[in-house]
Chains A and B, each alone.
Chain A
Amino acid sequence: AQTVTQSQPEMSVQEAETVTLSCTYDTSESDYYLFWYKQPPSRQMILVIRQEAYKQQNATENRFSVNFQKAAKSFSLKISDSQLGDAAMYFCAYRSLPNAGGTSYGKLTFGQGTILTVHP
């Protein structure tokens, strides 16, 4: 079974600064997908960025980028030029590819979450 660990329960950053959220995972699979989801106070889960394990290039979406270290099983999220609207809970999540036995039809395994506070 896969596990995802976010070791930072809370992080804070000044507006316009850069912050990095950590995520590590454990798996024996070679192909999989990794995601960062944002959950603002509204509770809505919003996809921030995704990374395919077979791609060596780190994913980037505007101010959000990841540092994907497959051998180290690490998947950190960097937020540049932080904005007040970035304040939220952030979840790292792992998704397996489907397997022949049908035991993994794409369920997500989540980390515990990191609460990000942005100070003006």
Chain B
Amino acid sequence: NAGVTQTPKFRVLKTGQSMTLLCAQDMNHEYMYWYRQDPGMGLRLIHYSVGEGTTAKGEVPDGYNVSRLKKQNFLLGLESAAPSQTSVYFCASSYVWTSGIYEQYFGPGTRLTVT
């Protein structure tokens, strides 16, 4: 049971380049989330998904797109990277509320630097 995994762990991009971050979970969770962590600001929600084929915007969605074609995977895309997107990105997943388990499980994070 690997839990939540993220690929890649580190990446350096030039301004204007594109990339996709992959999140995978093997816990059969319905809900999945993408957060970014910046110094002094905690983690902020970018996008989330409540099930396969559904996505929704979080607090800071601009410049990002997401897709959830399979229940176990949640992709975060940057179409044209900007230096303001330099951050650490975390994926998380959780069970549905009726499970009685309310915590989110986090991946190890991806450190992205845009130059």
A33 pairs with B102, CB closer than 8 A: yes
A108 pairs with B45, CB closer than 8 A: yes
Give the Cβ gap from B56 to chain A, nearest Cβ, in Å. Answer: 8
B102 pairs with A50, CB closer than 8 A: yes
Give chain A's interface secondary structure class: loop
Residues of B within 8 A of A37 (CB): 106
B48 pairs with A107, CB closer than 8 A: yes
- Judged by a CB distance under 8 angstroms, whether A35 is at the interface is yes
Chain B contact-residue range equals 20 to 34
- CA–CA, A103 and B68, complex, Å: 18
B44 pairs with A106, CB closer than 8 A: no
B42 pairs with A106, CB closer than 8 A: no
Residues of A within 8 A of B35 (CB): 108, 110
Give the Cβ gap from B111 to chain A, nearest Cβ, in Å. Answer: 8
- CA–CA, A112 and B58, complex, Å: 18
B90 pairs with A106, CB closer than 8 A: no
Give the Cβ gap from B61 to chain A, nearest Cβ, in Å. Answer: 12
A106 pairs with B104, CB closer than 8 A: yes
Closest to A33 in B: B102
A112 pairs with B97, CB closer than 8 A: no
The residue that A91 contacts in the complex, of B40, B43, B108, with Cβ under 8 A, is B43
- CA–CA, A57 and B62, complex, Å: 41
Give the Cβ gap from B38 to chain A, nearest Cβ, in Å. Answer: 10
- Judged by a CB distance under 8 angstroms, whether A16 is at the interface is no
Residues of A within 8 A of B90 (CB): 45
The residue that A110 contacts in the complex, of B44, B56, B94, with Cβ under 8 A, is B44
Give the interface of A toward B (CB within 8 A). 4, 6, 9, 33, 35, 37, 42-45, 47, 50, 52, 91, 95, 97-98, 102, 105-113
Per CB-CB distance, the 9 closest pairs between chain A and chain B, nearest first, are: A110-B42, A45-B106, A43-B109, A110-B43, A105-B50, A107-B45, A112-B42, A47-B103, A33-B102
Give the interface of B toward A (CB within 8 A). 31, 33, 35, 40-45, 48, 50, 56, 58, 88, 90, 92, 94, 97, 102-104, 106, 108-109, 111
6 pairs, CB–CB < 8 Å, chain A vs chain B: A33-B102, A42-B108, A95-B102, A97-B97, A107-B48, A111-B42
